[in-house]
Chain A
Amino acid sequence: MTTFLGMPATAPRGVGNLRGDQTFPEAAHDALGNDQMRRNLRHATTTIRGKSGKVIGELPDWQRLRDAGSAIKADVMARLPFLLEQLEQNVTAAGGIVHWAADANEANAIVTRLVKETGSDRVIKVKSMATQEIGLNEALEEAGIAPVETDLAELIVQLGHDKPSHILVPAIHRNRSEIREIFLREMPGVDPALTDDPPVLAAAARRYLRETFLSTTVAVSGANFAIADTGTLAVVESEGNGRMCLTLPDTLITVMGIEKVLPTWQDLEVFLQLLPRASTGERMNPYTTMWTGVTPGDGPQNFHLILLDNGRSAVLADEAGRSALHCIRCSACLNVCPVYERTGGHAYGSVYPGPIGAILSPQLTGIEDNASLPYASSLCGACFDACPVKIDIPSILVHLRNEVPHPRGERAAMKAAARIMDRPRLYASAQRAAKLARIAGRRGRGLPPPLTGWTASRDLPEMPSQTFRDWWAAR
């Protein structure tokens, strides 16, 4: 006999960064008015699109690689409990300690406790979406522990008291003169003669970070992949800061979403081809760090792996939406999205912006808490074509829109429209009535809200003298 334990919980409120304070249209209103940000974003996304398109074009088997990536992820989701237990077993056998966190609160509490046990009041961090998602930095700061972001862009965001606006390039909304100003204002010991030349800015960050790497004994990371079969964790990055964090400290704490597990080492081959080309437009990832538990005398001597759910089981429970969990956080969908390019990432309110965020955030939090996100898309489909693991984002957006609690007025209007359209005679008279209404109102200005959104920037078409069906009937 089995006992039904209820549906899996969504990510709890009051912790983490999955919910914004405003709806998408409200937040987009502000973002669209920020000319500097729009120029930065247009330049950055156009550059990445070009680079990525070029190296993807070099691979004759790109579509087959996408199919393979998609199939491996579908297999993982189908037997996630088994793979996670296998991972736990193999990490433990290799000298690591595995913790299970049902949500953001549990994960933050575990990390805080583990850091406190080391006696350190500072941790160095590898760029990680999972820890941004759960608001780990805020939780650590509250406990008197200073988290230092070591990824250059995350550091810019942290020093600027800002929020990330892109999965891969969190400071994409900043240009170099803004970065110079942030460094001058916030970076301890910075050279006051700092220029906005990119190599000079990078060197300033390097000097600051080197000291921190050498004097901090605890690191916190996320994980791009975990191999169930061997208990191996993998982090891919471009700057080498991750390599420092993952090898120099005594203690390494990794927070990983449960969907990141892969069955075997061989499966990694597919993703290490897909990820760099789709994300940074590189043929091969610059720094790929892999570790299996603890190796005496080499690297961190204490390794903790925290397996984070925080709503993922709830996503998995939805057959039509679960492939959102296939995401490998490459950002290709952000870079091709015409909505993201104009609003930027902050408008989405969640650490997961862009098309993937529009399907992932509402599922993790429960749709009521992110009800405007599934509509933050024109359903143009560019994201689906760009996704290296073929997540059908437009179809999931349509699915989620069907689950959103609709405003009463809209519901009534849509029902009425469907009723008329299911009655051809009524439909034909409605067509004629619409014509009369237009004659009565002034062209393009006579619409009631919310339809005024259209006429604010667009004229309405001239009403034709005759509908097609009337013409056809009369010919």
Chain B
Amino acid sequence: MRIALFATCLADTLFPEAAKATALLLERLGHEVVFPFEQTCCGQMHVNTGYQKDALPLVKRYVKTFDPYDVIVAPSGSCVGSIRHQHAMVAAKYGDAGLASRASSVGERTYELSELLIDVLKIEDVGAFYPHKVTYHPTCHSLRMTRVGDKPLRLLRQVRGLDLVELPAAEQCCGFGGTFAIKNAETSSAMLADKMTNIVSTGADVCSAGDASCLMHIGGGLSRLRSGVRTVHLAEILAATES
């Protein structure tokens, strides 16, 4: 299958391993991956901080860049959530009805990685090997906006060598929330403290998630505390093989 990759601005800039892993995994599974260079950012930061009008060009850019493709994937439940649930709203409000309907259509063709694998490519065992003790943070937008459910866990359970340990209070927010982490830095830190306590309590070597943004937050805290727990994107685990 020909799949267009939306790397997301965060993974493109700061976490290229997550985007690389997404591309390499899909290629290993026999698919053609396309990376349109005109892509930048989905505009979620602008929408969620109160700058919807400024997000309009980014919505337009996303729609124009990805409209030619039947299947689009992003290694982020949060960006996919924004594309699916906010693009058409911004387009209708500041653009026009035509853009809004195209945005809806492109949104419907945009999948978070675990959705693409399970719902579209119908595969749960991606042939990965990852001999580590891993706990999984399901991320708020993956759960409650994109609604990926337990798909990431189903994929992880098939990974050879992987010891999956349950994260207590997994569904609680890590405190990132985009600019929330800056505007309400102290409340955000208090939420992060509890998330880190739960992660450390599992005894896992690795905390994984389907969003580089939450991992940047959790990883930033774990690193500051010298906790010895690493954060690794779901795509990197699924892309890892024995050879």
Q: Assess whether A28 is interfacial by the CB under 8 Å rule.
A: yes
Q: Assess whether A4 is interfacial by the CB under 8 Å rule.
A: no
- Are A422 and B57 in contact (CB-based, < 8 A)? yes
Task: List the B side residues contacting A338 at CB < 8 Å.
Answer: 172-173, 175, 191
- As a 0/1 sequence over residues 380 to 422 of chain A, the CB contacts with chain B under 8 angstroms (1 = contact) are 1110110000000010001001111010001100110110011
Q: How far is the CB of A430 from chain B (nearest CB, A)?
A: 9
- Are A424 and B182 in contact (CB-based, < 8 A)? no
Complex partner residue of A342 from B7, B14, B143, B187, CB under 8 angstroms: B187
Q: Assess whether B55 is interfacial by the CB under 8 Å rule.
A: yes
Q: Assess whether A59 is interfacial by the CB under 8 Å rule.
A: no
The closest CB in chain B to the CB of A430 belongs to B13
Q: Assess whether B48 is interfacial by the CB under 8 Å rule.
A: yes
**Which of A461, A468, A471: most chain B CB closer than 10 A?**
A468
- Are A380 and B182 in contact (CB-based, < 8 A)? no
Task: List the A side residues contacting B181 at CB < 8 Å.
Answer: 378, 453-454, 458
Complex partner residue of B11 from A379, A382, A411, A468, CB under 8 angstroms: A468
Q: Assess whether A190 is interfacial by the CB under 8 Å rule.
A: no
- Are A379 and B180 in contact (CB-based, < 8 A)? yes
- Are A414 and B54 in contact (CB-based, < 8 A)? yes
Give A75 to B9 CA distance when docked, in angstroms: 42
- Are A457 and B51 in contact (CB-based, < 8 A)? no
Task: List the B side residues contacting A415 at CB < 8 Å.
Answer: 51, 54
The closest CB in chain B to the CB of A470 belongs to B16
A-side interface mostly: helix
- Are B144 and A381 in contact (CB-based, < 8 A)? yes
- Are A378 and B17 in contact (CB-based, < 8 A)? no
Q: Assess whether B71 is interfacial by the CB under 8 Å rule.
A: no
Complex partner residue of B13 from A32, A434, A451, CB under 8 angstroms: A434
Q: Assess whether A467 is interfacial by the CB under 8 Å rule.
A: yes
Q: Assess whether B140 is interfacial by the CB under 8 Å rule.
A: yes
Complex partner residue of B141 from A381, A398, A406, A456, CB under 8 angstroms: A381
Q: Assess whether A195 is interfacial by the CB under 8 Å rule.
A: no
Complex partner residue of B51 from A25, A379, A381, A418, CB under 8 angstroms: A418
Q: How far is the CB of B182 from chain A (nearest CB, A)?
A: 5
Task: List the A side residues contacting B119 at CB < 8 Å.
Answer: none
- Are A457 and B46 in contact (CB-based, < 8 A)? no
Chain A to chain B contacts (Cβ below 8 Å), 27 pairs: A24-B184, A378-B173, A381-B144, A381-B145, A385-B144, A394-B145, A402-B50, A402-B52, A411-B51, A414-B49, A415-B51, A418-B43, A418-B51, A418-B54, A422-B61, A444-B220, A454-B220, A457-B189, A458-B189, A458-B221, A459-B221, A460-B220, A464-B14, A468-B11, A468-B12, A468-B13, A472-B23
What is B's interface to A at a CB cutoff of 8 Å?
A: 7, 9, 11-17, 19-20, 23, 35, 37-41, 43, 45-52, 54-55, 57-58, 61, 86, 140-141, 143-145, 171-173, 175-192, 216-217, 219-221, 223-224
What is A's interface to B at a CB cutoff of 8 Å?
A: 24-25, 28-29, 32, 338-339, 342-343, 374-382, 384-385, 394, 398, 401-404, 406, 410-411, 414-415, 417-418, 421-422, 424, 427, 431, 434, 444, 450-451, 453-454, 456-461, 463-464, 466-469, 471-473
Apart from A453-B182, A456-B185, 12 more pairs, CB < 8 Å = A339-B184, A378-B181, A380-B172, A381-B144, A401-B49, A418-B51, A421-B58, A427-B40, A460-B220, A461-B14, A467-B13, A471-B20
